Structures are given as C-alpha cells and as structure tokens.
Chain A
Amino acid sequence: MKKKSRLDEILSIPDEVSTNIPKITVLGFEKVLIENHKGILEYQDFFVRLNTYIGIININGFNLKLDDMTKDDLMVTGKIDSIDFENIMGDENEEE
C-alpha cells in the first residue's frame, strides 16, 4: 500500500490519488463508482465482490451491470440493496 508523503500533504493532493485507498461513490440507489480497486473476485447477476488494497467490497442487488471497466475504476449499475466491507487491514493491525 502506498503511503502518503509529505509532499502530497503540502500540495493537498486527494487521498485516492496519493494512496491506494479506494474511493466509493454512491449515486442514488442505482450507481456505485469504485476507484482504486484491485480486481473482481466474483461477479454474478446479484452479487459483486471486489478486491481492494485495504479489504473487500461486497455489493448486493439485482441486475447488476459493470459499466465502465478500466484498470482502476469500475462502475456498477443496477438495483443495489447493500454495500458491505470486509476489512483486512484492521485485522492485520490488531495482530501486530
């Protein structure tokens, strides 16, 4: 995971650019834009599981479509029921 440097802090560059933390934008109930993801773990009509640098994002819903897929960005559209996270980082920190 990329760390935030001093320079980034001085220039106040957004976190999603300077680090690998995913940015999740939810627009209404039908659109979710996830930036900085690491890949798709599972994709079904009703369930999308995405890997990120700090954990896993699960999106539940119906008729889920992946609209604009690039290396870092992903747009999920469709009827979205819930979004939940599985935090890996927190567990690791606790272990340490």
Chain B
Amino acid sequence: MLTKSMKSNWKRAAILMGMAACLALPLNAAAKEKETEAAATEITADAGQVILSTDYPGVSAKPGATVTFPLYIVNQTAADDDAALEAKDLPEGWSGYFRGSDNEISSVHVSAGQEKADSPKLSYSLTIPEDAKDGDYTFTLEAAGTQAKADTTLTVKITSQEAGQSDFTAQYPEQQGDSTTKFSFDTTIINNRLTLQSYSLAANAPEGWSVTFTPSGESSKVASVPVDAGKSQGLTVDVTPSETVSQGDYTIPLTATSADDSLTLELKISITGSYGVTLSTSTGNLSASAYAGEEEKVTLAVTNTGNIDLENLQLAGQGSTDWNIRFDETTISLLEAGATKEITAYIQPAENAVIGDYVAVMTVSNAQVKGEADLRISVKNHTTWGVAAIGIIAVVCIILALIIRKYGRR
C-alpha cells in the first residue's frame, strides 16, 4: 500500500515530468497526467480498511451441494494484524468452514498493505442440506482483526436446476433433404460446470437410420466426449436416413449425459419426396425368345424406387413393325413406395418377323416418372417343319425303294 506522502511525491514528480515532456510532446503528456490523477483518486477512497471479498458473491446451487467460495483478504491499513474468521447468519441446517492450505482454519494473518494478489489462499466451503428449499439465502462472512473488521455478504440461490447449466446446441437444428441426403449438423456442448465432464452421447433415431458423432477437427467417431470445465466442444452429428425412408418430418432427440448433466437436443429432419420407378423382368434376365406370330409370356417387375406412392402407372411396349405387345394389366393404379409388382407381358412378333434378335422397349410411366427396359427378343421358327421335311424325304425314299424292289425287278 502506498502512503499519502509517497503518493503526493509521486504526483509532484509526475507533474514535473509531465511539464518537461510537455515541451517536446504536449499531447502525450496531457494524457499521461489525466491517467495518473484517476489512479490516485481511487486509491485514496479505499484507504484504511481491511476488505474481505470473493469473486462471485452470489451463486446458484442445488440442494445437497457443496459450494466453495474463494476468498481474498486485503489490508489497506499500515499495520499487520490477525483476523478471526466467522460465518454469521447461516440458515438453519447449513454448515461451512474456512479452508486455508488444506486445513480448516479459524483466523488469518494480514500483512500491512497486503493487496489482493498477496492474499493467502483462502476459501469458504459451504455445505447445503439436502432438504433446502428453493430460494435466496443470505449470510455473512466476517474477518475481525484487532483494528479493522471486514465482512462480505454472500447470496446462495437454491434451485433444483443448477444455474450455469451446461448446454447442447446446434447451429442449424432443422434441415431438409431427399432420402439419399447425408445430413450433417454442427453442434456444440458447453460445459458450464466447474469440473471436467465426460458426456456420453446417444441418439434416438428411427429404425434403419444411422447417427454418428465426430468431434470437430477429428476423424474418428466417438460415443462419448470429455469437455473441460467452462469449455465447449464442437461435435459434428452425421445423420443418414434409412434407404426406404418415406417423405415426412422426423425428429431425432440427442442426449449427452454426464455425471452431473443430462443435455438434450432435438434435431429435425424433413425428408422431401423422390420419385423413381424401374422396370425389369422378375428374373432380371432381359432376353426372351418368341416364335414369329405367336404370343410369348414375359413376367415384368415394376419397382417403385422412390419414397412416394405412385399412382396410375401406364405400361406400354414398342416392338418392331406389326408387333403386338399387351399386358395383363395396362394400368397400375397404386404402387406403394418400395413395392414391386409383377406384370405379365404378352409379346407377339409379327408374322413376317425375320428370325434373329429384335429389341422390344417396355416402358412404365405416369405424370412424374418413367422407367424403361429393353428386352432382347430372339425370334425363332418352329423346328417342326424342318423335322417333318426330313421325315418326308425318308418316307419317300423308303416307299420308292419298296416299289422298286417289288415291281421294278427284271
């Protein structure tokens, strides 16, 4: 602590210096003078006291908790002293004690001119009973020296919910995309506790969805994340909807649970509709053979690959000239998302179709979508006529031979 005489000397010296400097740098000097004056005024006002203080005189706590108040003791008087410590007006059932260098203490020594930075490590540990009701409680800590006395009034707010709650937030908690989108949410866990918390992470997603947590700047997926007291941790939450997800809004509650905290965050995902239809055969084999002029059955499979039900799907087939392609059902009135329906197509090549391969294009379409399949149709001729011809030749040969044998001999 500075004495008055020292201070006035300093002031004078400062003024002198200021005047000297003024000759060279008048502006700078004026600013310096003002600063010095302000510091002097403050110090003067606080002079001659012992002050007991703490950083946060009002705290919130839960019933049953132990709250520790770090204390600082400042002596502005010119004399050393011992100050007895005491807690006054403690509410009924509450208890507490003073601590200093790992011991319970009852008094503290204050040196002359001791400032806050020189204060011995001192704290008051307050234990709140389990049955404490919600509300504000006030009590006083007193340090009584022989010459000077200091006290500080502390307020403890009891809430079942602890103030300075940790937090779990997302930058954009609502996102939109189609069924193939991989959603990514940037979230943050803020630990407002006084101790390191290890949060285990969980998500309650619909069946078939996958939710993964990746700390910012990391590549490994984690199931829990430690967060230092008073720090925050960025967390990327990747959400992949199931392949068969249908259109609609989905809410995914995330929880981050630690020993003291249970944090929740709701992510909202809006899945937009996607249309899709594919046409194939039931076996996946896109080739078939048919006889010219005769109907051939081919079982087609129409699959709704989108996530919206399709209505009024029309089937059509295009072969070569004079080909006739019909279906047992020309219209599918409703095909649910992800569903497959089998349709029998009757393909009749033209009478005069050349034997060999043709392409027949099958289409299924409605107002929104179109699916197409190219079938390779091998047109054939019946082998029966060929076999018959060989038979005829053989029969004629035999008959001729018999006739010759019987009547032709001389």
Q: Tell whether A and B belong to one assembly.
A: no
Identify the B interface with A (CB < 8 A). Answer: none
